[in-house]
Amino acid sequence: MDMVALTLFFLNGPNANLYGLDPSGTYGSESFAAIRARCLAHAASLGVALDFRQSNHEGVIVDWIQEARGKADAIVINAAGLTYTSIAILDALLAFDGPIIEAHMSNIWKREAFRHHSFVSRAATGVVAGLGALGYELAIGAAAQLAAQGAQAGVAEG
């Protein structure tokens, strides 16, 4: 499969920059910079361009999702704490015409109940959670494959 011309946006939300520094260890010991480097290397190995960004600000993430329209073939997003609160991010994602993979480092369903409802999921083609940075690589691979196939919908869509 030729994925050379594809561009993916990987958008990270609030506090993702603290991965590896969190004393609870919830997100492992790998720093955000190391995770970013790993994702860029993985994308390069697949022959896709990856634009990997992080912001602590909801409006910035909305702007980036809007920027992805016409610039990106697929989006991978970990909206972090905004996953459970942001209808603005959901609306922006719903206006994006391409595959969207929702990614979380942790298994959000194993955690507090307030993390069990994701607004992002309403727009997501698929979800990867609980696999740490490996899950990020899988999310990049899935986004690239789906974009290469021109697919938007995942399986078993309601």
- The residues that touch ligand DHK, with contacts defined as CB under 6 A, are 15, 78, 80-81, 104-106, 108, 115
| 84 flagged as catalytic | no
Nearer to ligand DHK, 100 or 105 (CB): 105
Give the full edge-to-edge strand order of the sheet including 74-78: 49-54, 7-12, 74-78, 100-104, 126-129
**Residue nearer to ligand DHK on the CB measure, 36 or 104:** 104
Confirm if 103 and 76 have CB atoms less than 8 A apart: yes
Catalytic option among 42, 57, 84, 104: 104
The span from the CA of 24 to the CA of 7, in Å, is: 34
Shortest reach from residue 115's CB to ligand DHK, in Å? 4
Catalytic residue status for 27: yes
CA distance 147 to 4: 11
Q: Of the residues 27, 84, 116, 117, which is catalytic?
A: 27
Residues involved in catalysis? 27, 104
